[in-house]
Amino acid sequence: MRKAASFIVDTDPAFADIVEASPVCSIGNGARTSLDPFESLVGSVIAQQVSVKAADSITARVTDYLDGDVSPEKVVNSSVEGLRAAGLSGAKTKTVKGIADAIHTGVLDLDEALTHPDDSAVVAELTKLWGVGRWTAEMFLMFTMHRLDVWPTGDLAMRKGWNIVHGESGDIDPQILEPLGDPLRPYRSVVAWYCWRAVEGDDSSW
């Protein structure tokens, strides 16, 4: 993604320092995630509104509870109590089991979604599921489908990172940030990734 990095810096030179200090972005590297699509979507649900550390811990516990088999069939046959004991909230348990049931019954075909060329159509399909909002669908697009032009303005850390890169403090309104990404098409996913790197490197950002 060196081409994307060069484009971003040429378009918005404020990104020069964070691009220089960061590894090459892995989004859009031509390879889908090694995770099964369902397992990846479950991971996105688990990551909703919790820290990366907490999400990793809960994911590990859920995976252990499912005996390493994070599949729709295994989740459909698991108990609500077991998933709750593994660390999922009641709402996330309902969401994960709902996704598993949708796939198990053929209502949702994740493999078909992976090949759909229209990002907005994928978001629309995923957000039909209870508990799957725009953010969760966008994370799936970025990290499972490796789509390059996703602009997750609903993500607080991304917005804070944008301000850090541009020498500002605090948060930026999503509606203000939305059009600021337009000049950075078709690499807005990569821009978001660098914004997250900026947050990681700035202790004062939270």
For residues 97 and 123, membership in a common domain is answered with yes
Residues 22 and 74 in one domain: no
Rounded mean pLDDT of 160-170?
Answer: 96
Report the pLDDT averaged over residues 48-63: 95
Residue whose tokens read 């947050």: 199
Percentage of residues of the chain with pLDDT beyond 70: 94
Q: Which helix (H) or strand (E) holds 92?
A: helix 90-104
Boundaries of domain holding 158: 2-29+150-205
| Domain count for the chain | 2
pLDDT at residue 204 greater than cutoff 60: no
State whether 63 and 135 are in the same domain.
yes
pLDDT at 72 over 90: yes
Q: How far is CA 137 from CA 129, 142, 202, in A?
A: 10, 9, 27
- Give yes or no: residues 46 and 96 share one domain: yes
Does one domain contain both 107 and 173? no
pLDDT at position 99:
98
Reply yes or no on whether the pLDDT at 174 is more than 50.
yes
Task: Assess whether 51 and 85 both reside in one domain.
Answer: yes
Q: What is the pLDDT of residue 114?
A: 84
Do 103 and 168 share a domain, yes or no? Answer: no
Q: What CATH number has the domain bearing residue 103?
A: 1.10.340.30
* CATH number, position 201: 1.10.1670.40
Does the structure show a pLDDT above 90 at 1? no
In the predicted structure, residue 33 carries a pLDDT above the cut 80: no
Count of C-beta atoms within a 10 Å radius of residue 77: 11
- 98-139, pLDDT tens digit by residue? 999 999 999 999 988 888 899 999 999 999 999 999 999 999
Return the half-sphere exposure (C-beta side, CA atoms, 13 A cut-off) of residue 179. Answer: 2
175 is written with which tokens?
A: 């509606």
